[in-house]
Amino acid sequence: MTTNVQTPAGTGGQAVDLRDPYPFFAKKRREAGVFCGTVMDYSKTPESLLPKREYSAMSFDAVNTVFRDGRVFSSKPYDKTIGLFMGPTILAMDGKKHREHRNLVSAAFKSKALAHWEPTIVRPVCDALIDEFIETGEADLVRNFTFEFPTRIIARLLGLPAEDLPTFRKRAVQLISYHVNYERAFEASAALKEYFLEQIEQRKSKPTQDIIGDLVTAEIDGEKLSDEAIYSFLRLLLPAGLETTYRSSGNLLYLLLTHPAQFAAVQAEHELIPDAIEEGLRFETPLTTVQRFTTEDTELDGVEIPARSVIGVCIGSANRDGLRWERPEDFDIFRKHMPHISFAAGEHTCLGLHLARLETRVALECLLNRLTNINLLTDDDPHIHGQPFRSPTALPVTFQAK
């Protein structure tokens, strides 16, 4: 086996190409909208955490059904996976408890806050990063830009001191890499808990205008969030706000740089950026698969599924379903708009979807406003890689400053 393939359990030994898993997704989707087996790689997962029985939803309709029926298809499995590192969060909550906690934390992401963050935080962070490499005429847009800007933005939104950024970034990366090194992720989780508790205590005595301050003071019907709920949510923000944004923005840049005609159109007409963002999210979602857990015996797309089964919800497959999109395997920012499902659906629709879109739009605007003649260097074969997390390995470019 090479480093470019993985063999998921339940696939009959068929290798999934980490560089391009979509042919495998398409094959399984053509056979059935749901199959008994997995698209996940469990080679590094402790045996105690392996699902006893797993099915995979591959068609758009099947994936959409799972997301929209939180009663039958529960998020509880996350208590035993990512929840071990994040603590109790809305990710693994259902029903009334989920709605109550979501309402409390959503106050920190209100549209008024987003309108304020763009000129005061998001755009200045992106421009400052470009300042660091614009004089060189070359950069790796992953290392120098897409990996950096979400980290700096989240740190600013949380109101963390600038001098804490290196330590915060180190712990954040260790935490979001839990699937690679469990022990180190547990250590990072504990360290971040202590760090965020200190930040929470500071804001109890001296309120601040940032996300932590908003969470500390958030109140609905006289109820406030517990310290555990706050620091658990803040730890959840790291994979939700850092990993997916840096990957999706990198995917979009790669797709535009490798489709010169569409890139030229976006450069000439910035109003096309939102369409490019949506097509990038459809064509190369940063997270191809999430999981749910059946609470009762059920049927999905004609397949009988027993209670207490894990359902692999393959967003990457659903977003290329030919029953929903014409030419689904083509990247085309000019295609007729049809909503993708990269931000999930139903009660667990991504809470930060508006922030993610805002960050990506501003990042691309800043690059296009300040750089021209941007060319991808292909000698080292930069490409999008991974499953279930996908993003470019590198984006080495040359350019000219405007």
**pLDDT tens digits for 347-383?**
878 878 888 999 999 999 999 999 999 999 999 999 9
Residue 103 vs residue 42, higher pLDDT: 42
- Work out the percent of the chain whose per-residue pLDDT is above 70: 86
Give the Cα separation of 180 and 174 in Å (integer): 9
5-401 under CATH 1.10.630.10, yes or no: yes
Please report, as a single letter, which amino acid is at residue 70: G
Lowest mean pLDDT among 36-40, 165-169, 248-252: 165-169
**pLDDT tens digits for 42-96?**
776 777 767 889 999 999 999 999 999 989 999 876 666 666 666 666 665 666 6
Ramachandran bin of 225, using left for φ above 0, alpha for ψ from -120 to 50, beta for the remaining angles:
beta
The label of the residue with tokens 């087996």 reads 37
pLDDT (0 to 100) of residue 15: 59
- Judge whether residue 148 has pLDDT over 60: yes
**pLDDT tens digits for 294-353?**
999 999 999 999 999 999 999 999 999 999 999 999 999 999 999 999 999 988 788 788
**pLDDT tens digits for 260-299?**
999 999 999 999 999 999 999 999 999 999 999 999 999 9
- Judge whether residue 243 has pLDDT over 90: no
What mean pLDDT comes out for the span 250-261? Answer: 98
What mean pLDDT comes out for the span 392-397? Answer: 96
Domain map (residue ranges) of the chain = 5-401
The label of the residue with tokens 């001098």 reads 163
Structure tokens at 192: 């971040």
Helix boundaries (H) for 107-181: 111-117, 123-133, 148-158, 165-176
The label of the residue with tokens 């290329």 reads 320
Mean pLDDT of the chain: 87
**pLDDT tens digits for 185-202?**
889 889 999 999 999 999
What mean pLDDT comes out for the span 149-168? Answer: 88
pLDDT (0 to 100) of residue 259: 98
At residue 233 the predicted structure's pLDDT band, cuts being 50, 70 and 90, is confident
pLDDT (0 to 100) of residue 12: 42
| CA 283 to centroid of chain Cα atoms | 14
Give the Cα separation of 199 and 152 in Å (integer): 17
pLDDT (0 to 100) of residue 133: 98
Give the Cα separation of 12 and 5 in Å (integer): 14
Give the Cα separation of 171 and 160 in Å (integer): 14
Give the Cα separation of 308 and 51 in Å (integer): 10
pLDDT (0 to 100) of residue 2: 37
pLDDT (0 to 100) of residue 181: 78
